[in-house]
Chain A
Amino acid sequence: MDKHDERFKVANREALIGVGLALINFLWWFGFAYGLGSKPPEEYSYIFGLPAWFFMSCVGGFILMSVLVIFVVNVYFTDVPLEAKDEDIE
């Protein structure tokens, strides 16, 4: 059953990693957007022509997540067979 299958341990860990990534993504996105974007527009600073809040939150956040996802998948994700193993079939 579930508990004895090593593959599900791997799957559970990876699901938690997914939730963790989403949390980081949200905090970064929210923090920069409303942290830097809440002042009046005259006081905005700009990065590559875009308001800093937008650049950091949307462009920077996207780049950060891409890098994180590539890293996490390559380092922490494990290959497992998906087909049922013979001894598992009841």
Chain B
Amino acid sequence: MNWAVIIPLLLFIILIFIIGFWANRSIRLSKKDFMQEYFLGGRELGGFILAMTMMATYGSASSFIGGPGVAYTEGLAWVLLAMTQVVTGYFVLTVLGKKFAIKAREYKAVTLTDYLRTRYQSHVVALLAAVSIIIFLFSAMAAQWVGGARLIETVTGIPYTSALFIFAASVLIYVIIGGFRAVALTDAVQGSVMFVGTLILLIATVIAGGGVEEIMQGLTRENPNLITPFGADLTLTPAYVSSFWILVGVAVVGLPQVTLRAMSYKSSKAMHRAIIIGTVVVGFVMLNMHLIGVFARPILPGIEVGDKVMPLIALEVLPGWIAGLVLAAPMAAIMSTVDSLLLLVSSAFVKDIYVTYLKPDASERQVKRMSFGVTAVLGIFVFLMALQPPDLLIWLNLFAFGGLEATFIWPVVLGLYWQKGNKYGAISSMLTGILSYVIVDQFFNQPLGVHSVVLPVLFSFIVYVLVSAGTTQNYTTPVTNPTR
């Protein structure tokens, strides 16, 4: 075992715990409604934390471990593709914007499902939303846990099962006790670790490679395609790369873990700061992290498994203890995604199903016990799944990201800005989005040369508009949520 790497990782985990306990204290001391506190941090996020938790939640294992690995294989074209994510830094918060934050407060919405239920006054919309959140985000979360455990295994040499246990235990403890506030605060720490970690590693990699020019020459000698925008085998077409503007760019507006954050900030000032910080941080981290993957190639040629590029290059170009600090970055990326998903799935059970439908008169104590309990049970369940991931779960995870985008984007965005959008439009748009995504992905691989998510997003838009325009919904008096 490599203690020089393990000790900084341990210190990082301890710091995360301290934050969890601190957040727990502020939940217990707070006079506000428990569910708002636990699932939304009392809507008190400031600009820096908001920007960081958005970036960290979104920059998951796939982009942090997988991304540099693919960049290693494909060259600069993959960095170009990754830079489509800069848009998320400002787009989500400007487009959902103040209107979403104001409406969410007005509706007293604690979850995205709450928002949709009140906006459309429809239980079908709410149940569809809650069920898709539970199914897809649960699978996505389990897949991330596998990634987290693999990373610990690669870096420290601890066997997979023990690594999974360490990972699960650390995440579960701070999420259960600290709720959303702990998730957001730890995300801020984790985001900062990602920011600093990638910067240190990029600089060290450039130095080890003898400067940028030297590295570019090395790449050109090996395969000139590596420095073109078309990928190592010239297979990345402009249409395909551009379609990532939808998948990881603008359509991120529809992801429940992202929309939730757009209702959690304290004031419009916080939102302004978050837009600026978010844009700079997302762009900086994405650029650096993927460049590391490309630059690693001339230094460490012949790495077969893409996921190992990041750990191996860190161990190669940095002294052990700094490598440990830097490798806390991908670990941070995975943790910060998983913690948000865990809490979101838990809120879907507790708030969207238990409190809204099963026991509307539940006392504060019962809700508390349910919240801690459900989060814990979910965590243990994911742990068991990740020990030996079933095929169904892996299959569902493939659809999680694009599927949720195609499901939620129009009911959320058009529901916000188009008065005439109604529940019939929302229901048919959600069903169209998800079903067409599964069909397109399974039977037509990359139709028209674009990523499978593009057409379903288009279909669900057309359906939403046509059905809403063709039907009229009679709203009764505005329904407010049961609050406590």
Contacts and interface: CB of A to CB of B under 8 A. Distances in A.
Contacts of B484: none
B98 A10 contact: yes
Interface string A45-84: 0101111011001110110011001100110011111111
13 contacts: A7-B98, A7-B102, A11-B99, A26-B87, A40-B224, A41-B220, A41-B228, A49-B215, A54-B229, A69-B279, A79-B268, A82-B98, A90-B478
A2 B103 CA distance: 10
Contacts, number: 143
Given A21-B91, A66-B280, A82 B269 contact: no
Q: Give chain B's interface secondary structure class.
A: helix
A51 B279 contact: no
Nearest to B284: A62
Given A69-B279, A79-B269, A90-B478, A51 B94 contact: no
Interface residues of B, number: 53
Interface of A: 2, 7-8, 10-12, 14-15, 17-19, 21-22, 25-26, 29-30, 33-34, 37-38, 40-42, 44, 46, 48-51, 53-54, 57-59, 61-62, 65-66, 69-70, 73-74, 77-84, 88, 90
B267 interface: yes
Contacts of A12: 99, 417
Interface string B71-99: 00000100110011011011101111111
A30 to B, nearest CB: 6
A25 B46 CA distance: 26
Contact of B229 (A22, A37, A74): A37
A35 B238 CA distance: 11
B229 A73 contact: no
Interface in B223-240: 224-225, 227-230, 238
Contact of B90 (A18, A82, A84): A18
